[in-house]
Structure 1
């Protein structure tokens, strides 16, 4: 069992690290070189990777010339997910009268694909300039006791439906990123088919709505390996003393290795930024670079059922694109969505979700009028650029804000 072996090695290394390595935080002892301190800090992070994701820790948002207080609270919780709300001070909307009034709250569907939701912290900060923001914060399956029951793809969709209702239903702009795009579209379609009050809009960014189009290396791998192969090679059992001991999972450490292998340039960029900040001695830059590294390194386990369901539905059977996906007894019918506006966003250099896979939702959602649609392809933009960095701030977020204003 790789999981149990790795946990044993990490525990051993943590003990050795506690005896031998100083937990440096950017300062040095007299006579100690900055480079030595940086090396100690880097090695310490390798030996003692973060066991928990860093908190969002968003206390203010800059609107106009003022810093507006932000309050984070838990709105609802299931064993496998927490719905967080980031609320701005009541006078925030008045600072931007050119927006023409308050924007409906934004419901950010974080992907359940290995990273914790805090990976989207930068996106949350930007979206708070427009309105209050809800975030689906998925639990690490290793921390969910067995008596909480199983969790598959259907359960994921039902959680999104439940949380959408708790957040206000029709008074929302849904934004779904990466793997969350399919379940978010399914939840919206199921609500439309049931005659529920629709969300104001749904934005799908960088997700495999139709993985048959321009398949990437990741998509081809998922499509050409059987469920039994994944079950035998990628699934492990959570060991004690974790609360979810005995649960079958796709471990986060395997997913993190896949992230680094697929996007080594991102890991290198984060490490380089961190070393440069440490060597500069700029404490704010050090803290910011360390946070980004910790956000990227904070990974979670996914349940066996959910992981295998996702591969089957989105990559092997392409059930959503083929029109034969059912959540329980209910067919998923994107064509039933009529009064919810649709925006699809792709990065031209996205090597995780192929070109056209997300835009395929434009065809599936045939009931939406053309005036309520937007299709955005961002040049020189990779997968992570869709929610962090200059492309997000300078191109994608302004385009979303303009889209929301256009459909009031």
Structure 2
């Protein structure tokens, strides 16, 4: 439908962005070209390459501790990244038993680099693993399809790879439901699925207080979405011929439902420009690049999510089966459970995430925590001052106690 046309426009805009950058180089710091770096970012709605995490160190105490990034496991649709600290460099006074943390990033239209600040904060506590989703346009048809159940099985695989007994799992937004399902499947066969599970701003029970996005999803049939929003990847991408929900649709939907986040990124950039803060300018440009790093989702995953999570609420109703196995959150008993919501979240409705507390009825009250963060929007759950100053400290205290 629109995919090939959008790609043609992107290429045209990238050329304009390249000319803007060339003009800035030719004219140096001439005032007329102030903000040309911002202009090229504005003109280019999707980076030609995904911005790297580029986390070379993390500050613990007063020392910068080197961080090494490697690939721990991979499939055609997802890469498991491992950010490892050089433990010998950690100050002895801060060498409490380190944690292993798995961040399950949402497969919701953005690359996982959007969680860079989340990774940086959690590296203060231990090594961090992260599910980094591959753009479906880059996955050959020979790799097969990828649905919601495949997401669950992938998290289960990664937990077995890492060693689930000692790991603290953090699931963000759309990742909450498949992550909870994966841990429930492990618990159902007698395995210890994790040390703890933290669910942040995710649609566990979409019957509760649906937002505008959820109401739109629930008021249109799955077949309507298939006819209207699914497109075919064109050449020259490796996934040419694959049916996908294009990332530019999701980017437009999020921008329409929650424009404040992009406005804030723009405001931070111009504030740094006014203060001649080179570090702030670079940080703002990096964050805008991360925000613009969208990806395509395989048709099956997108439509499965609509049907299972938004239309039929199979997790909340106890009717979800994955690979023929019942998803039984009540089988979880040994782990600690934390749920986090923001009062100003316009993407995930109030109580939708906290609903996991009732579903996981086998967990002792002493191993539960429900956090509702005042004046916190969706993005504030994993980036910005609410995340840094309130949520991250509260979650890590809970881990240590539990």
Normalised to the residue count of structure 1, the TM-score between the two structures is 0.95
Secondary structure of the residue aligned to 1:21 is helix
Residue 68 of structure 1 is matched in structure 2 by 65
Residue 187 of structure 1 is matched in structure 2 by 182
- Between the aligned partners of 1:125 and 1:40, the Cα distance in structure 2 is 29
Residue 361 of structure 1 is matched in structure 2 by 356
Matches within 5 A, 1:215-294: 215-294=210-289
Q: 1:24 to 1:380 in 2, by over 3 A?
A: farther
CA displacement, residues 10-49 of structure 1 (integer Å, 9 cap, x when unaligned): 223334554x433467x7836721xx22353333223334
How far does residue 289 in structure 1 lie from its aligned partner after superposition? 0.5
Matches within 5 A, 1:319-338: 319-338=314-333
Confirm whether residue 29 of structure 1 aligns to residue 27 of structure 2: yes
Residue 43 of structure 2 is matched in structure 1 by 47
How far does residue 148 in structure 1 lie from its aligned partner after superposition? 0.5
CA displacement, residues 46-67 of structure 1 (integer Å, 9 cap, x when unaligned): 3334122210000100001111
How far does residue 183 in structure 1 lie from its aligned partner after superposition? 0.5
Tell me if structure 2 keeps the 8 A contact 1:21–1:44.
yes
CA displacement, residues 339-362 of structure 1 (integer Å, 9 cap, x when unaligned): 011011111111111110000000
- Between the aligned partners of 1:175 and 1:64, the Cα distance in structure 2 is 24
- Between the aligned partners of 1:31 and 1:334, the Cα distance in structure 2 is 59
- Between the aligned partners of 2:87 and 2:13, the Cα distance in structure 1 is 49
Tell me if structure 2 keeps the 8 A contact 1:23–1:44.
no
How far does residue 135 in structure 1 lie from its aligned partner after superposition? 0.3
Tell me if structure 2 keeps the 8 A contact 1:63–1:92.
no
- Between the aligned partners of 1:179 and 1:17, the Cα distance in structure 2 is 32
| Equivalences, count | 401
Tell me if structure 1 keeps the 8 A contact 2:70–2:82.
yes
Confirm whether residue 311 of structure 1 aligns to residue 306 of structure 2: yes
How far does residue 102 in structure 1 lie from its aligned partner after superposition? 1.2
- Between the aligned partners of 1:371 and 1:240, the Cα distance in structure 2 is 55
Secondary structure of the residue aligned to 1:71 is strand
Question: RMSD over aligned Cα, in angstroms?
Answer: 1.6
How far does residue 266 in structure 1 lie from its aligned partner after superposition? 1.1
Residue 200 of structure 1 is matched in structure 2 by 195
Q: Which runs of 5+ in 2 are unaligned?
A: none
Q: 1:147 to 1:127 in 2, by over 3 A?
A: same
Tell me if structure 2 keeps the 8 A contact 1:251–1:302.
yes
- Between the aligned partners of 1:126 and 1:261, the Cα distance in structure 2 is 29
CA displacement, residues 166-217 of structure 1 (integer Å, 9 cap, x when unaligned): 1111110000010000011000000000112331000001001001011111
Secondary structure of the residue aligned to 1:346 is strand
- Between the aligned partners of 2:177 and 2:128, the Cα distance in structure 1 is 20
- Between the aligned partners of 2:41 and 2:225, the Cα distance in structure 1 is 30
Residue 124 of structure 2 is matched in structure 1 by 129
Residue 105 of structure 1 is matched in structure 2 by 100
Secondary structure of the residue aligned to 2:339 is strand
Residue 82 of structure 2 is matched in structure 1 by 85
Residue 8 of structure 1 is matched in structure 2 by 8
- Between the aligned partners of 2:29 and 2:252, the Cα distance in structure 1 is 37
Tell me if structure 2 keeps the 8 A contact 1:28–1:37.
no
Residue 347 of structure 1 is matched in structure 2 by 342
- Between the aligned partners of 2:364 and 2:258, the Cα distance in structure 1 is 38
- Between the aligned partners of 1:198 and 1:14, the Cα distance in structure 2 is 45
Q: 1:38 aligns with which of 34, 37, 46?
A: 34
Secondary structure of the residue aligned to 1:377 is strand
Secondary structure of the residue aligned to 2:210 is coil
- Between the aligned partners of 1:22 and 1:61, the Cα distance in structure 2 is 31
Q: 1:138 to 1:96 in 2, by over 3 A?
A: farther
Tell me if structure 1 keeps the 8 A contact 2:104–2:175.
yes
How far does residue 282 in structure 1 lie from its aligned partner after superposition? 2.4
Normalised to the residue count of structure 2, the TM-score between the two structures is 0.96
Matches within 5 A, 1:147-166: 147-166=142-161
